[in-house]
Amino acid sequence: MKTNVQPVGYRFEWKPADYVFMTATSYTDAVCKESARIWGLFAEPQPGCDAAIEVYFGEFWVQPKWLHGRDLFGFAPLYLGPIISEPQP
């Protein structure tokens, strides 16, 4: 399902389950985009997508599995949106 809301970040996957998170600015400058599967990251859950928090973004990126009692003051939860790009052969 398409959305008119622009992603605030992106999740790149070059290898299965090996993710790299990027801001919109980093995404613009990223190389090798065509060889990665790319999802948008949004401030709100997107229609038809998982409503679980994918990552927190503040001074750095923190996946929920690595929280371990961290103080997330100033961090924003981001939700995985639809796939934006599939790897090109």
* Residue 32 confidence (pLDDT) above 80: no
- Cβ neighbour number for residue 31 with a 10 Å cutoff: 6
Asked if the structure places residue 3 within a domain, the reply is: no
Q: Provide the domain count of the chain.
A: 1
Model confidence at 1, pLDDT cuts 50, 70, 90, reads very low
Q: How far apart are CA 72 and CA 83, in angstroms?
A: 27
Average pLDDT, whole number, for the chain?
87
Q: Which domain holds residue 67?
A: 9-85
Q: Is residue 24 part of a domain?
A: yes
Cα 80 to Cα 1, 48, 89: the distances in Å are: 13, 11, 24
Region 20-29 average pLDDT: 86
Residue 72 lies in a domain: yes
Q: Is residue 4 part of a domain?
A: no
Tell me whether residue 46 is in a domain: yes
Q: What is the rounded CA–CA span in Å between residue 62 and residue 72?
A: 9
Give the residue among 46, 43, 52, 35 at the shortest CA–CA distance from 9.
Answer: 43
